[in-house]
Amino acid sequence: MDYKEIYQEWLANPYFDEETKNELKAIADNDSEIKERFYKDLEFGTAGLRGIIGAGINRMNIYVVRRATQGLANYIIKQGGQGKGVAIAYDSRRMSPEFAEEAALTLAANGIKAYKFESLRPTPELSFAVRELGCVAGINITASHNPPEYNGYKVYWEDGAQFTPPHDKGVTEEVLAITDLSTVKTTTREEAEKAGKYEIIGQAIDDKFIGHVMDQVVNQDAIDKMQKDIRIVYTPLHGTGNIPARRALKELGFENVYVVKEQELPDGEFPTVSYPNPEAAEAFALGLKLAKEVDADLVLATDPDADRLGVYVKDMKSGEYIPLTGNMSGSLLCDYVLSQKQAAGKIPSDGQVVKSIVTTNLVDAVAANYGCELIEVLTGFKFIGQQILKNEQTGKGTYLFGLEESYGCLIGTYARDKDAISATVALCEAAAYYKMKGMTLWDAMLAMYEKYGYYKDAVKSIELKGIEGLAKIQEILDTLRNNTPKTIGSYNVVSARDYKLDTIKDMATGEVKPTGLPASNVLYYDLNDGAWLCVRPSGTEPKVKFYYGVKGTSLEDADARSAALGEEVLSMINKML
């Protein structure tokens, strides 16, 4: 059927509720809107679903959620895992509780027990719960830092990480095989509970999760000595982090934690920001105002599902608060954690630091300094989780720290996704440690640059919406793939990696070797003078992203090199548009 026929089917079929039909009737004279909602199914990709909330097959709604859950249930049953159950969490977004309930009821209707959190919870706690409860899978209803009109549906497998091959492909195939939404199974909560297939979870999991977060502390003595002197400003950005972050900080002994009141309570409209993203400066406006009032040492913001953390740190010389990128805060934490473990004699001979391919090379230098193996994985924290699983299965390799540039890291192995609650605790601990030495976190960052080199990393993106946009994004990748550039701006391309074709080509010798990583539509260029560029389509937004890094001789030199490379990359791409 074409999009108009599917639209009419939704209007006519008694399976769809009246509220949905009324929403669709309201766009009856808008062909382009009908087409956008019905020209394709909302893509069930490598992480699950993410899209605008609304009626239609290309939107997030209860029917699309039921279909995704039915596909997951079918796959679980084929894997013989229906006896293990599925954990379900959700965030503060519009329709998140409703989508979580629909997922639970579809699972119950298929004979699979659903363990649903009583109220909103952070993403890392869902990851923890999957393993703690011995579940075969997990579902998290969240759209992370997307604007308010979005929601999403992430699938986790029994190791606690977002699903990877072959499970992602297997579940996707089962979802796509469901062509008639009205055939999806569901039931009532009463019937699900009567059958023993629906259980509410909460405090018991909370207590264990927070316990593991606190176990990652590497220098409690520093906290004990400085707990009255460190001043912390924190905002959950209307999301899930408020209760767990404050609880962990309080139980560890931090006495001066100031929460941004205007952003404290959960609110899916995110009224104080246009974009609830800890990478965005506007997300910190209220926090910085409060920080200046209370003379805070650092300002922390977790995104709505509390897996990513943004941070500003005070520079005592200027009195200003300086933002740290995810690359900077991740490297700072990695160096701090490893330094403390080294001091305690707790870095094993097979210690590992794991990062995504678009993450700063500064962390490579940190890992080398502490004698740790540096492992690169594809973008997506699930691949870091996959490395932890590999270590467990083979008995080789001890995971010590993992990070990706998009403001996410994980210190322990209790969860298998990035954890902003743990990162919040760790940064406050690091602040206490350095303050004990008469240093701020910014001083510590500068000391790292002096020791390892002035690395500067950035990302630019081009947004290309709709059907035409997707085609244009692919055209950019195809053009670069078929015509490898010899130079990018003022840099020479030393080697070119194509993760889709599994090749690394030495541009001087022509030698080709495999990347050793799973296939992914990503291109990466190693440039001279320690610079690099990576091109990849976003997995969650209609964007093509350009990640790049340089190594300078000073902060000013690194800034200048980075700015120049960024402009040169955009100029190169604009010629293709």
Catalytic positions: 144
SS (H, E, C) 254-282: CCEEEECHHHCCCCCCCCCCCCCCCCCHH
Taking alpha carbons only, the member of 225, 223, 232, 229 closest to residue 252 is: 223
Alpha-carbon distances of 267 from 121, 201, 272, 276, 303, rounded to whole Å: 14, 22, 10, 11, 12
Q: DSSP labels for 432-446?
A: HHHHHTT--HHHHHH
Kindly give, in sequence order, each residue whose CB lies less than 8 Å from that of residue 280, ignoring residues fewer than 6 positions away: 273
- State phi, psi for 181 to the nearest 5 degrees: -60, -25
Taking alpha carbons only, the member of 342, 453, 439 closest to residue 400 is: 342
Residue owning tokens 């010899």: 486
Can you read off the two tokens belonging to residue 104?
Answer: 């639970």
- What angle is formed at CA 279 by the lines to CA 322 and CA 491, rounded to 5 degrees? 85
String of b and e for 524-561 (b: at least 16 CB within 10 Å)?
bbbbeeebbbbbbbebbebbbbbbbbbbbeeeeebeeb
Kindly give, in sequence order, each residue whose CB lies less than 8 Å from that of residue 312, ignoring residues fewer than 6 positions away: 284, 287, 288, 291, 298, 299, 321, 322, 323, 324
Compute the radius of gyration of the chain from its Cα atoms. 24
CA 474 to chain centre: 23
The Cα–Cα gap between 129 and 123 comes to 10
Taking alpha carbons only, the member of 244, 232, 426 closest to residue 314 is: 232
Under the phi-then-psi rule, with left for phi > 0, alpha for psi from -120 to 50, and beta for the rest, what region is 258?
beta
- What angle is formed at CA 177 by the lines to CA 172 and CA 178, rounded to 5 degrees? 105
Contact yes or no for 270/370 (Cβ under 8 A): no
Q: Is 307 exposed, middle or buried (0-12, 13-18, 19+ CB in 10 A)?
A: buried
Contact yes or no for 538/515 (Cβ under 8 A): no
What is the CB neighbour count within 10 angstroms for residue 248? 22
The Cα–Cα gap between 33 and 345 comes to 62
Q: Could you tell me whether strands 309-314 and 351-356 are parallel, antiparallel, or unpaired per DSSP bridges?
A: unpaired
String of b and e for 171-186 (b: at least 16 CB within 10 Å)?
bbebbeebeebeebbb
- State phi, psi for 571 to the nearest 5 degrees: -60, -40
At residue 506, the 3 state secondary structure works out as strand
